[in-house]
Amino acid sequence: MSAYIVPIFIIFVLLYASYKNLNTYNIFVKGAKGAIELVVSIFPYIVAIMVSVALMRVSGLTDLITKAVSPIFNFLGIPPEVSELVLLRPFTGSGSFALLNDIFTKYGADSYISRCACVIMGSSETVFYVATVYFSQTKVKKLLYAIPCALICSLVAAVLSCLLCRFM
Amino acid sequence: MMMLLSSAALLVVNPGETVDSMLNASAEAVELCINLCGIYAVWLGILEILDASGLSEKLAKLLKPIIKRLFKGADEKVHKDIAINMSANMLGLGNAATPYGIKAMKGMDDGSGVATKPMIMLMVLNATSIQLLPTTTIGLRASAGSQSPADIILPTLISTFITCLTGICLVFICNKIFKRKRG
């Protein structure tokens, strides 16, 4: 079903625009032109975040943190098998999907662990990536409580996911 | 700072791999950006059509009661971008939502160097994004040989919804605390 939503939406937009007698082609091209500028301006920020994440993984810092917090996670009902995912999720989208795949092959796609992991993936976002990219075009240097709030939400999502998967 | 810490750790563990992994990640970033460029081009083109046809204003009007309450003090002009950003997020089109989100952030910047309340709200909302259909995850699960790949939809919906509410409450609470500190 979801496969239809986006195409239908696009067709609707185009139809509506022609009904309004607009030159859709010219307008589309004008808008698309902005993409290169946008990507060029966010590029350095993406490089910075991806390099930092890679360094953290290779250096073993991630493993260390995982080990350090897994007792806390255990207490909150998050199984140790998914705690790496919970930690990695805020940093990288592609990395966490790769990890999700690992979990599938290791524990089977229908296991409790895998279902937990799926729900975690679905209900949280790449917080640091979103923060860097969204604020990259502004002059903002102080994010105040934006990141802590978002991270607490991710943790809530993880705890909830594991709890819900137990019953459903 | 994160970089410094990790590099220092690497020096001890495995000095040869530092530069390698940095360059690898950077190359990956280039790849990602090229992909993003394509995605953004399509969605920014469609945004332009949305704007020109007046549809985005209609969408903003539709979501106005919610946006007005959540983004107090934000300019009327930004409402459109926020409306599209939120809708795209709900459909699970995270990458389509990004350009509109960036635009909205730019519009809300007051140049003071400190994030304003509506900016924080937008960021947290995007970070907890309500997702109606976790398409990517379901797809991955199906290809991993799951018997019923879609049975995670319900728990995901509940979880994402509660998380989003938590986020909104947290931001409001923090807003109050910070106001007191400043005043």
CB-nearest to A153 from B22, B99, B166 is B166
Interface contact flag, B114 A142, Cβ < 8 Å: yes
In a domain? residue B1 = no
In a domain? residue B114 = yes
User: Residue B94: which residues within 8 A CB-CB, separation 6 or more?
Assistant: A93, A125, B88, B129
Q: Which of A130, A135, A139 to mutate to test the interface with B (most CBs of B within 10 A)?
A: A130
In a domain? residue B84 = yes
Asked whether the predicted pLDDT for residue B5 surpasses 70, the reply is: no
In a domain? residue B97 = yes
In tens, the pLDDT along A124-148 reads: 888 888 888 888 878 787 777 888 8
Residue of chain A with shortest Cα separation from B146 = A109
In tens, the pLDDT along A50-107 reads: 787 777 777 777 777 878 888 888 888 888 888 888 888 887 777 787 788 888 888 8
Asked whether the predicted pLDDT for residue B3 surpasses 70, the reply is: no
In tens, the pLDDT along B113-148 reads: 788 888 888 888 888 767 776 767 787 788 888 888
Its ipTM equals: 0.76
Of B27-31, B133-137, B171-175, the poorest mean pLDDT is in B133-137
Whole-number percent of chain A with pLDDT over 90: 0
pLDDT of residue B183: 41
Average pLDDT, chain B: 79
pLDDT of residue B13: 61
Asked whether the predicted pLDDT for residue B164 surpasses 70, the reply is: yes
Q: Are A123 and B163 in contact (CB under 8 A)?
A: yes
Interface contact flag, A118 B152, Cβ < 8 Å: yes
Q: Are A48 and A132 in contact (CB under 8 A)?
A: yes
- Continuous segment of H or E residues that includes residue A60: none
Q: Which of B1, B10, B53 to mutate to test the interface with A (most CBs of A within 10 A)?
A: B53
In a domain? residue B110 = yes
**Of B21 and B161, which is predicted with more confidence?**
B161
Q: Say how many domains are in chain B.
A: 1
In a domain? residue B2 = no
In a domain? residue B29 = yes
Selected residues 139-178 of chain B with any CB under 8 Å from a CB in chain A: 140-141, 144-149, 151-152, 154-156, 158-160, 162-164, 166-167, 170-171, 174, 178
In tens, the pLDDT along A20-46 reads: 888 888 888 988 888 888 888 878 887
Q: Which domain holds residue B55?
A: 19-182
In tens, the pLDDT along B77-114 reads: 788 888 888 887 776 666 778 888 888 888 888 777 78
Quick one: B86 exposed, middle or buried, by C-beta within 10 A (0-12, 13-18, 19+)? buried
In a domain? residue B80 = yes
| Helical H segments across A59-107, by residue range | 61-75, 80-88, 93-107
pLDDT of residue B92: 65
CA distance A70 to A81: 9
Asked whether the predicted pLDDT for residue B72 surpasses 80, the reply is: no
In tens, the pLDDT along B44-61 reads: 888 888 888 888 778 778
